[in-house]
């Protein structure tokens, strides 16, 4: 079972301030829309997401190619899911928490998803 690309999704108070900070750590925006409150940044193989007013807490995030197979496996293992993916195919997500209450998101993108790479102005 492949869990997919791993990233940390950070809940931020001010996305512009957070973006400027992480850019100093060599991260570059590869996707998102700052005016909508979300940006995806990469530095080498490391990916983080910045989210303002989207989540209550920081999340561990995985982007698998088959979230429904992961869902089936987790359910077989007796893992409780907070949110389940719908039946069918294509983009979907599931959420759960680990024994210490840390939220985990499995978010399957569309098969043809490619980060936009568009860098929005910092004041956008």
Is the Cβ–Cβ distance between 102 and 55 less than 8 Å? no
CA distance 62 to 122: 27
Query: Closest by alpha carbon to 108, among 20, 3, 38?
Result: 3
State the pLDDT at residue 120.
44
Second-level CATH architecture of 5-108: Roll (3.10)
CA distance 83 to 95: 5
Per residue of the chain (124 residues), what is the pLDDT tens digit? 889 989 999 999 999 999 999 999 999 999 999 999 999 999 999 999 999 999 899 999 999 999 999 999 999 999 999 999 998 888 999 999 999 999 999 999 766 666 666 544 444 4
Domain ranges of the chain: 5-108
Q: In this structure, what DSSP letter does residue 87 have?
A: S
State the pLDDT at residue 115.
66
Is the Cβ–Cβ distance between 53 and 39 less than 8 Å? no
CA distance 105 to 59: 7
CA distance 13 to 27: 18
State the pLDDT at residue 80.
96
């Amino acid at each position: 079972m492949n869990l997919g690309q791993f990233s940390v999704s950070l809940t931020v108070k001010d996305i512009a301030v957070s973006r400027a900070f992480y850019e100093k750590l060599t991260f570059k925006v590869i996707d998102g829309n700052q005016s909508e409150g979300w940006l995806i940044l990469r530095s080498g193989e490391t990916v983080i997401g910045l989210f303002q007013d989207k989540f209550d807490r920081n999340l561990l995030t995985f982007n698998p190619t088959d979230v429904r197979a992961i869902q089936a496996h987790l359910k077989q293992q007796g893992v409780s899911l907070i949110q389940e993916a719908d039946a069918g195919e294509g983009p979907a997500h599931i959420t759960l928490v680990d024994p210490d209450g840390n939220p985990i998101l499995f978010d399957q993108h569309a098969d043809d998803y490619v980060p936009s790479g568009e860098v929005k102005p910092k004041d956008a």
